[in-house]
Copies of this chain bind each other. A is one copy, B any other.
Amino acid sequence: MKPKIQDVAKVAGVSPTTVSRVLNNRGYISEEMKKKVYVAMEQINYIPNDLARSLYNKKTYIIGLIVPTTKNPFFGELTAEVENYCSQQGYKALICNSLNNINKEKQYWEMLRRNQVDGVIVGTYNRGILDYDQHNLPTVAIDHYLSKNIPVVGSNNYKGGQLAVETLLAGGCKRIIHLNGPFDLKTPANLRRKAYEDVMIKHGLPYTTYEISGVFDQYEQVRIINQMFDEQPDLEGVFASDDLLALAVIREAEKRGVSIPEQLKIIGYDGTETIRTIFPGLSTICQPIKKIAESAVILLQQQMEGPKPMSHDEMSHDITLHTGNTI
């Protein structure tokens, strides 16, 4: 038999109501009394039922985290950082891998509401529009505009794009191509492309962005990269909007006998721990993933503990350059 609150009360020599007040932190209870109750709990191996307490307090201390997939190095790292910080703050994270499928995202969203999570952090890239304004659940988006009332956390995408292109220019490239994800996603990451175009215009240079419309679609990546090589015989530099894309460019360049950095210079984006460890030679713009994760949790906590924000907050962390040997 599982020990009950009544058993704790008997061992501690107090009333069941007192035990319940200690567990729920309600009313004034002396430190001595608290200690008595905790010692008794330990003694008979009583496990408090947080589920019952959640229902009573209308607070579960659970947040939902929706990402495309933790397989992807960026989202694997983001998930670890969000969960670590949540755990320090006394929150738990329900993980949801939406696989960029709008129906899966809808199902997760409903599941999270049914389970009374205190809030949701969304880091997906979906085209479909969920009616995020319809609900009152505290929500924070990472690198994505969901609705005008939902704060967005990310890093300075415009500055990151500028730094990437300027680094290629400083390396002597003039014919620079940009590779980016789907143009129609509502994400501040599109500012990387805007920055690329602005810098090229400023230097009086032509610019072309190749779009890879399938998110995480390796076959399309390879197809578009080869199209780029075929159409751009005078190519000198590539700014890829994520590191996996930059590494795919390196692989295709190698197959074509194009030497890096002599004939072609490449810079990526993201700079996850995994990629920087296994491919330290890749020059890339590093996003401060830990800071992004922590800010997302902090902004969510503010909503969970206060009123829903009326304006569209945006928090943009600074990026850094990791210099490898691809430029």
Contacts and interface: CB of A to CB of B under 8 A. Distances in A.
Interface of A: 45, 47-52, 54-55, 60, 62, 65, 69-73, 75-77, 79-80, 83-84, 87, 92-97, 99, 104, 107-108, 110-111, 113-116, 134, 218, 244, 247, 251, 272-275, 277-280
Contact of A94 (B77, B92, B107, B277): B92
B115 A95 contact: no
12 contacts: A47-B113, A49-B116, A50-B115, A51-B115, A70-B80, A71-B273, A72-B274, A79-B79, A83-B95, A87-B97, A94-B94, A275-B278
Q: How many copies does the complex hold?
A: 2
Contacts of A87: 96-97, 104, 107-108
A95 B75 CA distance: 14
Contacts of A70: 70, 76-77, 79-80, 83
A51 B116 contact: yes
A8 to B, nearest CB: 14
A70 B87 CA distance: 15
Nearest to A278: B247
Nearest to A112: B92
Contacts of A69: 80
A274 B277 contact: no
Contact of A55 (B48, B55, B83, B134): B55
Given A69-B80, A278-B244, A95 B95 contact: yes
Contacts of A111: 50, 92
Nearest to A79: B70
Nearest to A58: B51
A278 B277 contact: no
A283 to B, nearest CB: 15
Contacts of A92: 94, 111, 115
Contacts of A99: 84
Closest 4 CB pairs of A and B: A76-B76, A50-B114, A95-B95, A70-B76
A94 B94 CA distance: 4
Given A71-B76, A79-B95, 9 more contacts: A47-B114, A48-B114, A55-B55, A70-B80, A71-B77, A71-B274, A83-B95, A87-B108, A275-B278
A206 to B, nearest CB: 30
B54 A51 contact: yes
Contact of A279 (B73, B115, B218, B278): B278
A51 B60 contact: yes
Given A97-B84, A116-B50, A251 B274 contact: no
